[in-house]
């Protein structure tokens, strides 16, 4: 290497300060297959529950899914069978405390939606295992759990 010419390390450092390439390399796709909720509380749920919806958030990214009409007998155990894909940016993916937050809501015909509970899964756990399937108990709820499968596909060369 001749004097005055920058080496590869200094070039990469300079690129990382002015480019989004490092952030993109840390990013990935989070896929969530919401199977069903089980044992939801029906306390205070008079009237017609039209549908259930789940709000999924990772950092500043959020998506809402809705299940179709719910029959009376499926109010405690609605089946979602829906798949969501979220593109998670590199900063969120690399942050130590990043979490996948899921909120379950019941949408009513004549009243405001009612909160049924939430579940939190550390993003780092999904990144390490690549795929997780299980039942997560709902927090801030009288009862219930959310059965789902989570998977992570990282950008090439990371995690």
pTM: predicted TM-score of the whole model, two decimal places: 0.77
- How is the chain split into domains, by residue range? 27-154
Query: Of 153, 147, 27, 36, which is closest to residue 89 (Cα–Cα)?
Result: 27
**Local confidence band at 49 (pLDDT 50, 70, 90 cut-offs):** low
DSSP state of 77: S
Report phi then psi at 68, rounded to 5.
-65, -165
Domain 27-154 CATH assignment equals 1.10.3720.10 = no
> pLDDT tens digits, residue range 63-95?
998 665 566 556 788 888 899 999 898 888 888
């Amino acid at each position: 290497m001749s004097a005055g010419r920058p080496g590869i390390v200094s070039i990469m450092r300079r690129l990382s300060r002015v480019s989004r390439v490092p952030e993109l390399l840390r990013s990935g796709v989070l896929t969530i297959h919401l199977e069903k909720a089980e044992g939801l509380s029906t306390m205070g749920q008079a009237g017609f529950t039209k549908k259930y919806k789940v709000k999924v958030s990772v950092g500043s990214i959020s998506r809402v899914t809705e299940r179709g009409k719910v029959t009376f007998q499926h109010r405690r155990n609605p089946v979602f069978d829906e798949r969501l894909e979220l593109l998670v940016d590199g900063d969120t993916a690399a942050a130590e405390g990043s979490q996948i937050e899921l909120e379950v809501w019941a949408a009513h015909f004549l009243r405001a939606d009612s909160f049924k509970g939430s579940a939190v899964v550390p993003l780092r756990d999904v990144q390490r295992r690549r795929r997780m399937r299980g039942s997560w108990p709902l927090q801030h709820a009288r009862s219930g759990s959310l059965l789902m499968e989570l998977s992570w596909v990282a950008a090439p060369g990371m995690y």
